Every structure is written in structure tokens, then in C-alpha cells.
Structure 1
Amino acid sequence: MHRFLVVIEKADNNYSTYSPDLPGCVATGSTQEEAKKNIYEAIKMHVQGMLEDNLPIPESESFAEYVAIAEKSSTSS
């Protein structure tokens, strides 16, 4: 089994998705759920094509993390 990080971004009128570990493998959808379904299918097809071409499947090296930054108080002294 292969696991790949997927990034989902809100666009103007839809959602865009991609996997940093599979350059060129992208998908869109009108909802987050549709975008997730579409990227799953795109990754499946992408990996199948790599296998058919005898190319190595890359190991996932990407990860995601949120960073929280506290807002400074805007009160005057």
C-alpha cells in the first residue's frame, strides 16, 4: 500500500487538490468531498501508469502541520 499527502485548497468557485509527492497529479471538485474523490482516482491512475511504465513509486516524504501565531494586542499604552 502507498500513502500520499494530499493538499486541498479552496479556489474561487471550487476546490483544487494535489499531492506534493506526485508532481503533475492534480484534481478539482465543486465540493471538498468531490475533490477528495477525484484526487483519489487521479492518484490511483497516476500510480497505475507508473507501474505500467516500470517506474518506481516514490515514497511519501511530505507532511503537513499548522502553525499558530498569537495576535498582538493593539491597545495603546
Structure 2
Amino acid sequence: MKLRVVLEPSEEGGYTVYVPALPGCISEGETKEEALDTIREAIEVYLEMVEDDCLLNEKSEQVEIVI
């Protein structure tokens, strides 16, 4: 899966990073590399929570697509 992230320098130092396609998915790090590592973890947790909230009935079908 590919997601675009926005990486911004923080006034206090370090970087803030967020995912426009995933509202509320935000993280930070002291370096660009650290910020990108922490946002990867945040994305994984975000998507797990969304998947857990998905309610299926007996007629539902889950299909994975690649975009």
C-alpha cells in the first residue's frame, strides 16, 4: 500500500508528519528518518483499529484491492 505523508519541521525542533488520507493519523520524530518510522507504526495501528471496527454480517465479503 502506498500512502502520501506530509513532513513538516516543528518550531520546537524535529518533524511532525501526518497522513492526509487518514484523518487524525499524526506522529513526530527528532529526525526525518525517525518521523517516517513513527508514522509507519501509527499507520499500522490506525488501520488495525479501522479493521477492528468493521462490522460484517453473514452476507458480507471482504476483498483486498491494490491501488
* TM-score of the superposed pair, with normalisation by structure 2: 0.76
The answer on 1:4 being equivalent to 2:3 is yes
Runs of 4+ in 1 over 6 A off after TM superposition: none
RMSD: 1.2
Deviations 1:21-69 (A, max 9, x none): 00100000000000000000000100010001107xxxxxxxxxxxxxx
What is the DSSP-based 3-state SS (H/G/I as helix, E as strand, rest coil) of the residue aligned with 1:37?
helix
The structure that is helix-richer by fraction is: 2
Could you tell me which runs of 5 or more consecutive residues in structure 1 were left unpaired when the two chains were aligned.
56-77
Aligned letter for 2:8?
A: E
Deviation, structure 1 residue 14:
1.1
Instruction: Look up the match of 1:46.
Output: 46
Aligned residue pairs, count: 54
* TM-score of the superposed pair, with normalisation by structure 1: 0.66
Greater C-alpha Rg: 1
In the TM superposition, what are the counterparts of 1:45-64 in structure 2 within 5 Å? 45-54=45-54
Could you tell me which runs of 5 or more consecutive residues in structure 2 were left unpaired when the two chains were aligned.
56-67
Identity %: 39
